[in-house]
Structure 1
Amino acid sequence: MDTLKKDEDSEEVEIDLEDSSDPEESEDGEEPQTLWRAQPSLDEEENIHTSTLVEISDTKPLITSRDARGVNNCLKVGFEDVIAEPPSVRSGDRVWIWSNALFEVSRVWIYRIVTALLALPMSAISGLLFGLLSCFHIWMIRPCIHCVLIGNRWIQGFWDIMLQVVVVPFLTSAGKCCGSLGIHLAKE
């Protein structure tokens, strides 16, 4: 007979597969031998924001957080976000329940179908694009910018001197001249 035991101290689930007619008695008064031990199942749907009418996945996800940085927070859309009936007009309860179920099922399955068709090609194209951009930036653009900055240190120095000698005194004196002006508005 199969028996299920759960220790209060441990978070493991023990299943004894020993064949015994009386689960209370065991040979020599010993604990029954544990042949199989499994971890308790974690509540997988804690972080999934969907309706209870539709089960998103029947397999354990490989990656627990697929949007860890919250890039697609704007896409957390439920049935109540799209279709909402005010209290003054209401459809029948069955219509509301079935339309909710149809919305959730069609949303999930259309996403799965389109993802199955486009995910791999778009991943390959995105990987190629970001790889090329990274390579060009690291090996071509950044060294060119550094070469230009190193070669043009004299232009930076000259520009800094021109600003300090000509522009700053001119703007300072213009500010002092215009600072003493006052405007008084009077209604006639």
Structure 2
Amino acid sequence: MMPDEYLVECNIDDDDEEYDDDVKKIHPSPPPPPQFSSTSSLTQGEIRDPCGLNKHLKIEFSDVLAEPVSTHSYDRVWVYSSIGFESARLWGYRCLTALCVLPLSCLCGGLFALLACMHIWCVMPCIQVFHSCLPCVRSLWMSVVNIFIAPFCTSVARCCSGIYVVFSKE
């Protein structure tokens, strides 16, 4: 049995006006539209690489360009080059994905569909046929090996067993 502390009493009223007021209290206005920015703050539900397949592609400006202490450019040049690098990386990726994503995703989807179709309708039936036919083929092959190949290999081994090789320096 369930303890009383987990039980909740729910009153059911068939009055539509009170229901409409409750709905208005719960949802007073529609949710605001999503905000888009160049730097995305991903929440737990928006992670697009949960398995970390592309961890090696997390490249920052400091991973590519770095000035040693002895040689420094102007501060503005360094800041603008950082901004240029990040902008080119971000917008270059966005433009390339906008051009390539649909054809590549269709190609990958078609490839996986072909793979699934071949596996379901060709590979698995062939494997099942082999599983049912291979015991007969195995017994036939064992007979051929025991009748022809094993005696031949045994006789060759007996002929070669009397050969001795001696190395000497004369």
Same fold (TM over 0.5): yes
| 1:101-120 equivalences in 2 (<5 Å) | 101-120=83-102
- Measured against aligned partners, the alpha-carbon deviations of 1:6-40 in whole angstroms (never above 9, x if no partner) come to xxxxxxxxxxxxxxxxxxxxxxxxxxx9994788x
In structure 1, what is the Cα distance between the partners aligned to 2:108 and 2:114? 10
Which residue of structure 2 lines up, in the alignment, with residue 55 of structure 1?
A: 38
TM-score, structure 2 length as denominator? Answer: 0.56
In structure 2, what is the Cα distance between the partners aligned to 1:92 and 1:83? 15
Which runs of no fewer than 5 residues in structure 2 stay unpaired?
1-24, 151-170
Which runs of no fewer than 5 residues in structure 1 stay unpaired?
1-32, 45-53, 167-188
Distance change (3 Å), C-alpha of 1:141 and 1:35: closer
* Higher mean displacement: 138-147 or 115-124: 138-147
Distance change (3 Å), C-alpha of 1:87 and 1:146: farther
| 1:160-175 equivalences in 2 (<5 Å) | none
Which residue of structure 2 lines up, in the alignment, with residue 135 of structure 1?
A: 117
Work out whether 1:82 is the aligned partner of 2:60: no
Which structure's CA Rg is the greater one? Answer: 2
Runs ≥4 in structure 1, deviation > 3 angstroms?
33-39, 156-159
Distance change (3 Å), C-alpha of 1:99 and 1:150: same
In structure 2, what is the Cα distance between the partners aligned to 1:86 and 1:38? 53
In structure 2, what is the Cα distance between the partners aligned to 1:89 and 1:146? 70
Which residue of structure 2 lines up, in the alignment, with residue 152 of structure 1?
A: 134
Q: Which has the higher strand share?
A: 1
For the residue of structure 2 that corresponds to 1:152, the secondary structure is helix
Indicate the RMSD between aligned Cα atoms, in angstroms: 3.9
TM-score, structure 1 length as denominator? Answer: 0.51
Q: Which has the higher helix share?
A: 2
The answer as to whether partners of 1:56 and 1:108 remain within 8 angstroms in 2 is no
In structure 2, what is the Cα distance between the partners aligned to 1:121 and 1:85? 40
Displacement, 1:126? 0.7
Which residue of structure 2 lines up, in the alignment, with residue 65 of structure 1?
A: 47
